[in-house]
Amino acid sequence: MDRRSFIKTGLAGAAAGSLLPVSALADHGHKAMMTPMAGSLYYTEANPGRWSAKAGGHLPHIKVEGSQVQVVTGHEMKGYEHYIVKHILFDAHMNILGEKLFDPTKDQPISDYTLPAGYKGTLYALSMCNKHDVWLNSLDV
């Protein structure tokens, strides 16, 4: 194999490897929380990576009552200096169910969503801090 073919094969493999885990694991509930990307690309309670002292204020919490979902991040909203930028809620297949962009001058990091009728499965909530990156949590409904 020449150098160019080797690089093409390697890039194709890397691309497939980066895409396959999410789609393959999303069908199996919380396993998407345990990919090699947890603790590096995004952070979880079990894999807080370089922000191990920051999990308490950054992990989004998911509450479900009937078809209503509320996502809360217990983080300060200190203007544009330090705040939660947004929440995104995903279903078990990583389809976006909703997202909320926050204005740190007037919002708290709380977002509300309505589930599709009869939804059963894992929900994933992502919370993004402007200083401490992206955090992921999940809940089965």
**Which residues of this protein are in contact with Fe ion, per CB under 5 A?**
129, 131-132
CB of 48 to Fe ion, least distance (A): 12
CB of 54 to Fe ion, least distance (A): 6
Residue nearest to Fe ion (CB): 129
Residue with Cβ nearer Fe ion (28 or 131): 131
DSSP 77-107: -BGGGB-EEEEEEE-TT--EEEEEE--TTT-
CB of 52 to Fe ion, least distance (A): 13
Q: Which residues are CB-contacts of 19 (< 8 A; sequence separation ≥ 6)?
A: none
Residue with Cβ nearer Fe ion (55 or 141): 55
Residue with Cβ nearer Fe ion (26 or 88): 88
Q: Which residues are CB-contacts of 109 (< 8 A; sequence separation ≥ 6)?
A: 72, 73, 74, 75, 77, 83, 84, 87, 102, 127
